Amino acid sequence: MKRFILLSTLFFFTGVNFLSAQELYMPRNVQIAVKNGTRTLDGSPGINYWQNGGKYNIEETVTPETKVVSGVEQIVYSNNSPDTLKILAIRFVNNVHKPESPRGSEVNDNFFTTGLDITSFSVNGENYNIDSKNWGTVAAVRLKQPLLPHSSAQLNIAWNYPLSKQDGREGQVDSTTFYVAYSYPRVSVYDDYNGWDFLPHTLRQEFYNDFNDYQLSIKVPKDYVVWATGDLLNADEVLQPGIAKRLKDSYTSNDVIHIADFNEMQQHKVTLQNDWNTWKFSADHITDVCYAVSKNYVWDASSALVDSKDNRRASIQAAYNDTAEDFHHSVKWAQNSLQYFSTKWPGVSYPFPKMTAFQGHADMEYPMMVNDATVSDTRRFGNQGFKFAQMVQDHEIAHTYFPFYMGTNEKRYAFMDEGWATTFEYLIGVDENGKAHEDSVYKMFRINRYIHDPSAEEDQPIITMSTQVSGAGYGNNSYGKASLSYLALKDMLGDATFKKALHHYMDEWHGKHPIPWDYFNAMSTGSGQNLNWFFNNWFFTNNYIDLKIDTVQREKDFYTVKVKNVGGFAIPFDIKIIYADGQIAMLHETPAIWEKNSKEQLFKISSKKIIKSVEVDGGIFMDYTPDDNIWKG
Ligand SMILES: [Zn+2]
């Protein structure tokens, strides 16, 4: 740092007036929500904030011979809104398997099914004649008696649907292993800024769900194990005594316990030998429940301390094909993940009693569960052990916080969950593998394709509704670009202030439905700074990443370096000076430097020595044209 003094940063770009406190574009429906007092400009839920929810009591049967899931449920749905509801929107995501459903990605013939068949439907004891044959992934049921504000209705529904042969986020993994998700009809979200959520599920966008309380019971033939969201309530009624003891021991153990190995599964030594067993689970104040069943998977378990204040542990389990080498490490990795996420980033105690990793093909998160493909590591990263498999599992577990602790609307604003999961994936990766390795992985996997693709799709503003973008526009807006915005903000605020602001946002909105403006406003309030200029720069523009050293001029004992921000994003970067005598000096600039002038900045470097080269380097903020980031004297 010797002989390297930043004397001043000059602003001389003219022709644009910068307002000191910019206002962010706010959609009219959000403005109305603020006016109605359900949301606020300081980013806290408004005095009139409300959300609807239900108590779900679900009983499902999985019949392996027919691959059919059938169920009955009772839903007590509470209308906490000030509105009289004349319809109920009923959602069944798995109707996306019907050939006539709109889809955002390709499927093969094995994907198609006949979808949902509702066999009975009643509201408050009154039978409804429902023909679900023409239902899509969401359908309106007109109520015979409107549901008044601050009242509830009891729905009783019976249904069945076939499991798809092609499994993705759910379906048949093999002939005796099924991942059963989105398996019950549910009331779609009715919220304060948008009313009923009638957006169809198309496979691309993910989900938006109320927080509900669940009692879930799953009936399967003997020798089938069930892994599900929530606490297993009746281990002794479904497992043989020795197996049940191992499972209970795992709840307090740091060691990985093999609850059931391959031979035990084959030799009928795991479940009770009744013709059918009914596995019972419960989970409260959570956005969804799902489960997996298998007759041939092995089962590991352990637990981790996730809250030292009350010595709370979370159960950690894994269910997989014994041949999947990476999954043999799954429980150990998850112990590390839960402890990292609880204590470092986001630094919020893991909020659930359990996490189960299941081997499927989805690379997908569910409350308290993840469904990941097995990866032989050479597929992605060369010979580096199982780092890719661990990274994917870390990512999916990170989703615990966004969208399951924070009930974000993934369908409209995917960056509110994928951007954070990608950020936590990076931060835990630095902890696990070191910064150099993780930087290269993040650049290769999350940024490289985006920044080197000059297509207009890549530069659509991040705030663009996720339903209105596709392909690269969806992927990079949701993952890489959004993650970079969070990491840029962390760099600008510093870790302590960034964490304080993030925790403010999370404390205000966990268990609720925040939207982007709640995030923006809560972070400004939590940090004690008006960050609108930053959010405007990152979320509401067509910016990309491209710095350039425009000129370097020497005058007496100092150099003047003009750096242009061609792409426009307010990124952090390093300036690296190499002197003629070989000495190197480094300086870090946070995104704050772009607040007053996001187009260009002048740096004065006091030096009596000759400078050989000056380079600007954004690191993981990869530059579109890195060749012009270096000046050589
Ligand atoms: Zn994700």
pLDDT digits over 57-102, tens only? 999 999 999 999 999 999 999 999 999 999 999 999 999 999 999 9
pLDDT digits over 348-372, tens only? 999 999 999 999 999 999 999 999 9
pLDDT digits over 326-354, tens only? 999 999 999 999 999 999 999 999 999 99
If you average pLDDT over residues 578-598, what whole number do you get? 96
pLDDT band at 244 (very low <50, low <70, confident <90, very high): very high
Output the CA–CA distances (angstroms, integers) from residue 290 to 1, 181, 300, 536, in the order listed: 56, 5, 19, 38
If you average pLDDT over residues 568-582, what whole number do you get? 97
Q: How many CB atoms lie within 10 A of CB 183?
A: 28
Contact 231, 202 (CB under 8 A): no
Distance 211 CA to ligand 1 centre (A): 20
- pLDDT for res 624: 98
pLDDT digits over 203-227, tens only? 999 999 999 999 999 999 999 999 9
pLDDT digits over 110-129, tens only? 999 999 999 999 999 999 99
Distance 424 CA to ligand 1 centre (A): 10
Distance 466 CA to ligand 1 centre (A): 14
pLDDT digits over 22-49, tens only? 799 999 999 999 999 999 999 999 999 9
The pocket of ion ligand 1, defined by CB under 5 A, consists of 418, 421
Distance 185 CA to ligand 1 centre (A): 24
Regarding pTM above 0.75, the answer is yes
Distance 14 CA to ligand 1 centre (A): 42
Side-chain half-sphere CA neighbours of 428 within 13 A: 31
Distance 479 CA to ligand 1 centre (A): 8
Distance 535 CA to ligand 1 centre (A): 22
Confidence check: pLDDT of 5 > 70: no
Output the CA–CA distances (angstroms, integers) from residue 120 to 32, 116, 131, 392, 465, in the order listed: 39, 12, 9, 40, 36
CA–CA separation, 79 vs 575, rounded Å? 56
Confidence check: pLDDT of 19 > 90: no
Return the SS3 of 416.
helix
Q: How many CB atoms lie within 10 A of CB 420?
A: 24
Distance 46 CA to ligand 1 centre (A): 29
Distance 425 CA to ligand 1 centre (A): 9
Distance 493 CA to ligand 1 centre (A): 25
Distance 474 CA to ligand 1 centre (A): 12
Distance 550 CA to ligand 1 centre (A): 38
Distance 98 CA to ligand 1 centre (A): 25
Distance 57 CA to ligand 1 centre (A): 29
Q: Read off the tokens for 348.
A: 């919020």
- pLDDT for res 378: 54
- pLDDT for res 188: 98
Distance 478 CA to ligand 1 centre (A): 9
Strand 312-320 with 354-359, pairing: parallel
CA angle (108, 114, 119) in 5-degree steps: 155
Distance 396 CA to ligand 1 centre (A): 6
Helices (H) then strands (E): counts for the chain: 15, 31
Q: What is the mean pLDDT of the chain?
A: 94
Distance 421 CA to ligand 1 centre (A): 6
Distance 398 CA to ligand 1 centre (A): 8
Partnered with residue 279 across adjacent β-strands are 218
Q: How many CB atoms lie within 10 A of CB 138?
A: 19
- pLDDT for res 150: 97
Q: To the nearest 10°, the Cα dihedral for 248, 249, 255, 260?
A: -60
Distance 260 CA to ligand 1 centre (A): 30
- pLDDT for res 379: 56
Distance 366 CA to ligand 1 centre (A): 10
- pLDDT for res 125: 98
Distance 287 CA to ligand 1 centre (A): 16
- pLDDT for res 471: 86
Distance 443 CA to ligand 1 centre (A): 17
pLDDT band at 472 (very low <50, low <70, confident <90, very high): confident
Distance 51 CA to ligand 1 centre (A): 25
Distance 203 CA to ligand 1 centre (A): 14
- pLDDT for res 536: 98
Q: Read off the tokens for 6.
A: 């930043």
Distance 392 CA to ligand 1 centre (A): 9
Distance 426 CA to ligand 1 centre (A): 12
If you average pLDDT over residues 456-466, what whole number do you get? 96
pLDDT band at 21 (very low <50, low <70, confident <90, very high): low
If you average pLDDT over residues 393-403, what whole number do you get? 98
Distance 395 CA to ligand 1 centre (A): 6
- pLDDT for res 383: 57
339-348: b or e for each residue (b if 16 or more CB lie within 10 Å)? ebbbbebbeb
Q: How many CB atoms lie within 10 A of CB 234?
A: 14
- pLDDT for res 376: 72
CA–CA separation, 500 vs 528, rounded Å? 10
pLDDT digits over 269-296, tens only? 999 999 999 999 999 999 999 999 999 9
Distance 453 CA to ligand 1 centre (A): 22
Distance 301 CA to ligand 1 centre (A): 24
Distance 544 CA to ligand 1 centre (A): 22
